[in-house]
């Protein structure tokens, strides 16, 4: 239930009922300061979609009726995940949304997962706060490359985190970002880089987290 732990729960959110008018919605948005909030049904349990401040203002500027129901400009009705969804689904669903609605096991609105919460989780998985160096290693993406890389690095240091990029690209370059833990010396680092490059891996970048 990691997603549930990252969510902002419904009780902490500003929401709008589907029976509200566009005028009532813009008043709530202006008061809250948010550019977008969830629309729920009258019971407050069912997620209907999102309402965006900019869409209401565009409607108003073009002479639209502000007494129309808020659902007139409802967006993202199908953009939601479950508390049990995989992180793959989260990444594919949230994309450019400010947040993604989260439903509980009974498909009732549970809360939202924001971009910032997701990025904070990724930052923690990267172990930036307790790392020493981040190595970006280029490889051909052949079978066994990752195992060989980590075996080499493990001769000199443990590994705080590892992320592989470019896995869907068709060219031969794959990038693997490895964070080394605190305490790794410059001499250890140089030995790791030299050993990797002897084995035909290219260390294209080394970021010193001690100087962040």
State residue 171's pLDDT score.
56
Question: Could you read off the pLDDT of 130-186 as tens digits, one per residue?
Answer: 788 999 999 987 889 999 999 999 999 999 888 887 655 555 578 898 999 988 999
Question: Could you read off the pLDDT of 181-211 as tens digits, one per residue?
Answer: 988 999 999 999 999 999 999 999 999 887 7
Of 1, 61, 50, the closest CA to residue 25 belongs to 50
* CA distances to 145, 180, 210 from 162, in Å: 13, 9, 18
- Say if residues 74 and 50 touch (Cβ distance below 8 Å): yes
The answer, yes or no, to whether residue 73 has pLDDT greater than 60, is yes
Question: In 62-114, which residue ranges form alpha helices assigned H by DSSP?
Answer: 87-94
Which domains occur in the chain, in start order?
2-120 (3.10.580.10), 127-211 (3.30.70.260)
3-class DSSP assignment, residue 78: coil
The answer, yes or no, to whether residue 72 has pLDDT greater than 90, is yes
Q: Would the pTM count as exceeding 0.85? A: no
Of 116, 94, 80, 91, the closest CA to residue 6 belongs to 116
- Residue 5 tokens read as 């732990």
The answer, yes or no, to whether residue 115 has pLDDT greater than 90, is no
């Amino acid at each position: 239930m990691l997603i549930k732990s990252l969510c902002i729960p419904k009780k902490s959110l500003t929401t709008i009922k589907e029976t509200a008018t566009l005028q009532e919605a813009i008043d709530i948005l202006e008061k809250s300061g948010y550019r977008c909030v969830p629309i729920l049904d009258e019971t407050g349990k069912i997620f209907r979609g999102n309402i965006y401040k900019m869409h209401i203002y565009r409607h108003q500027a073009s002479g639209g009726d502000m007494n129309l129901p808020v659902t007139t400009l409802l967006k993202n009705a199908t953009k939601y995940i479950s508390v049990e969804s995989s992180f793959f689904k989260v990444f594919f669903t949230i994309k450019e949304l400010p947040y993604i609605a989260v439903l509980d096991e009974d498909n009732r609105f549970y809360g939202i997962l924001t971009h910032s919460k997701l990025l904070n989780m990724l930052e923690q998985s990267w172990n930036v706060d307790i790392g020493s160096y981040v190595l970006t290693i280029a490889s051909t993406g052949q079978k066994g490359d990752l195992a060989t890389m980590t075996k080499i690095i493990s001769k000199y240091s443990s590994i705080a985190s590892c992320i592989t990029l470019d896995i869907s690209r068709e060219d031969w370059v794959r990038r693997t970002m490895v964070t080394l833990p605190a305490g790794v010396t410059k001499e250890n680092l140089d030995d790791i880089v030299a050993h990797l490059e002897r084995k035909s891996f290219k260390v294209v970048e080394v970021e010193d987290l001690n100087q962040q």
